Amino acid sequence: MKLLVPVKRVLDYNVKPRVKADGSGVDLSNVKMSMNPFDEIAVEEALRLREAGAASEVVVVSIGEAKAAETLRTALAMGADRAVLITAEGPVEPLGVAKLLAKVAQEEQPGLVILGKQAIDDDNGQTGQMLAGLLGWGQGTFASKVAIEGEHAVVTREVDGGAETVRLKLPAIVTTDLRLNEPRYASLPNIMKAKSKPMANKTPADYGVDVTPRLTVTRVEEPGKRQAGVKVADVDELVAKLKALGVTG
Amino acid sequence: MKTLVWAEHDNAALKDATLATVTAAGKLGEVHLLVAGHDCDAVAQAAAKIAGVATVHVADDAAYEHPLPESVAPLVVELMASHDAFVVPATTTGRNLAPRVAALLDVMQISDILSVESANSFTRPIYAGNAIATVTTSDAKLVITVRGTAFDKAAAEGGSATIESVSAAAQGQDQASFVSSEIAASERPELTSAKIIVSGGRALQNGENFASIIEPLADRLGAGVGASRAAVDAGYVPNDYQVGQTGKIVAPELYIAIGISGAIQHLAGMKDSKVIVAINKDEDAPIFQVADIGLVGDLFNIVPELTEKL
């Protein structure tokens, strides 16, 4: 079976975002961009399923500006077989992304689509579930374990309070949680090899999908700053402060 | 506007997250609750008593015992024909279900709202809480998930909603089925509703230290126990202890961070706490930039002494 893995180019997770002074958004000029960490985990899981013989091909897809090609090259260097880049002007919301991915899925007929559980820029956490809804497939979100058993995927999910296991009829959607795996690094020879792997260039119009945003961001601002605190010298002083707050133990 | 609120429950009792969601939904208009479950009469009765709820729709069917979105989303879509907004707590259940409903309604979901600015305008955190976006929607129907710590809880008593049963042919069982769940047993307060949280990080070094240093202090204070991702990844505690962007979002009265450096992903989960106390041996640790009270020193000496003196 074929695996489809959508990946997103986002502000690197180590970079502290700076809100623009005019309130129009977060400043993304001249900052390091990387593959969304949850998507790295998705690529890794797809590669492991292929290495275990449960899948034959891993196709990665990204939607966004032309530079998303770099993110796809990273996924190819990790070991994905080929890539689809859908270039779009301006931001595409999860609903638009899900509609495009549904078209790609209908074209590619994957047995499983593996996505990250959320992108660390917009923190929406919607795309996988939306895609599952549009395709009418089962969804295994926040996965910490994925096993293919014949015509089904058995997915252990991280839920509030513990874990839950569901059984999904294939084809299905899985979204990755942090503890699913430890993504591999791309080696230099593989980075070189990735340059010659195939990458199809598409636009939303090729799929007949309208990606006009439904939401307008009217303002982006810094969160309220906390007042500077005090440092205490020892435990006695800390206990006194806590007791003053009404914490008595 | 008629809102439909997803009641989160375990078929025996309502979860607290529902109450904050009712408050958020009440800012939009008339509040209706959906209780989908199996043998969940007690939950329906409790839901009807929540102040401000007009109607409780009860879908009692074996198919809804575990609320898999494949089965529940079609039910919600049916009810949304007569409601204007679907409002859901941003719990793992809510976050699993709501986007599927939104896609079936062909609307963009608004995730994890912090405030209701108007009937179509909301604030929500982006970039791990490092920025707050105000978004306005042009969709005819709203699908919203609510950050529970950002809204007061509606009173659990005082309402007298009518209970109506919903009959819908359950769908989706061929797509997905429930196999099992492992819920970690805990005597301590639930993390997302605890008034005090004691949280430990990588500096604890192992699970035994976590149990012998963090837990006695938490027990002394009647506090919930949290952890940083580093402590979870290292296996000191189970992953449902994790506080942060990818774990739980908490806002207790008092948050005591012990041996936690304060990475932005961790701060995203706790920086709305009323009072933050940090104990760390590195005086330059970023946690001290958000802490109201800081103590620089070795947690292995400080925390037992603190536990004893409180």
pLDDT tens for B117-157 read: 999 999 999 999 999 999 999 999 999 999 999 999 999 99
Q: Is the pLDDT of residue B222 over 70?
A: yes
Instruction: Write down the pLDDT at residue B183.
Output: 84
Identify the closest residue of chain B to A180 by CA–CA distance: B233
- Nearest-Cα distance to chain B for A246, in Å, is 10
Instruction: Write down the pLDDT at residue A99.
Output: 98
B14-35 pLDDT, tens per residue? 999 999 999 999 999 999 999 9
Pairs of CB atoms within 8 A across A/B: 252
Higher-confidence residue of A245 and B284: namely B284
Contact A169 B176 (CB under 8 A): yes
Instruction: Write down the pLDDT at residue B39.
Output: 95
Instruction: Write down the pLDDT at residue B187.
Output: 81
Chain A residues within 8 A of B8 when measuring between CB atoms = none
How big, in percent rounded to 5, are the helix, strand and coil portions of chain A? 30, 30, 40
Read off the tokens for A92.
């595409």
Chain B residues within 8 A of A226 when measuring between CB atoms = 271, 276, 290, 292
Instruction: Write down the pLDDT at residue B173.
Output: 87
Instruction: Write down the pLDDT at residue A245.
Output: 87
Q: What is the ipTM of this complex?
A: 0.96
As a whole number, the mean pLDDT across chain B is 95
Confidence at A249, pLDDT banded by 50, 70, 90: low
Task: Considering only CA atoms, give the Rg of chain A.
Answer: 21
Instruction: Write down the pLDDT at residue B146.
Output: 98
Specify the pairing of strand B115-118 against strand B121-126: antiparallel
- Nearest-Cα distance to chain A for B77, in Å, is 11
Nearest to B95 among A93, A125, A226 (CB): A125
Contact A248 B310 (CB under 8 A): yes
- What's the whole-number mean pLDDT along residues A26-52? 97
Would you tell me how many other CB atoms lie within 10 Å of the CB of residue A149?
A: 10
Q: Is the pLDDT of residue B268 over 70?
A: yes
Chain A residues within 8 A of B138 when measuring between CB atoms = 214-216
Nearest to A125 among B111, B296, B302 (CB): B111
Instruction: Write down the pLDDT at residue B263.
Output: 93
Distance CA B19, CA B47 (A): 9
Chain B residues within 8 A of A232 when measuring between CB atoms = 293-295
Contact B177 A222 (CB under 8 A): no
